[in-house]
Amino acid sequence: WQDSGQMSVFLVRDSRPEAIEALRTSLNEDARVDQVEHVPPSAALEEFKSYSGLGRVLEGLDENPLPDVLLVRPATNDPEALTELRDHLSGQAIVAEARLDMAWVKRLQEMMVLGQRVVLALAALLALGVLL
């Protein structure tokens, strides 16, 4: 639930570390962002090896094909705000792609609305039971 609106921001390969840190710092200062985590290519490759089961195949690669990634946890789950933040991130010079699974965010919003309705219905039933 906590990472429901998490965005993956794939950076341009061979981005300078100073530029990555500057983007990370500016995102941490942005009120729309709750948390930013930098995943370097080496860590991403190790994680991919452990979860994919393709460790031997990946060891045969001459170089790491994975880019730097920033995992951005937004401060809100509002679909419009998330789309606006994604568009803002996509416009940055060192960002190759900002990816957000909007279908999951919309499903989460619908489940939250359903939960609120169920709680209201139960509250109404309990109030009716107290009255009777």
CA distances to 17, 22, 46, 61, 64 from 53, in Å: 30, 35, 11, 15, 17
Residue carrying the six token digits 């998490």: 6
Domain boundaries, the chain: 7-100, 102-132
**pLDDT tens digit sequence for 6-55:** 888 999 988 889 999 999 999 989 888 888 999 888 888 788 777 776 66
Supply the CATH classification number for the domain 7-100.
3.30.70.3040
Q: Are 41 and 11 contacting, i.e. CB atoms less than 8 angstroms apart?
A: no
Record the pTM: 0.67
Q: Is the pLDDT of residue 2 over 50?
A: no
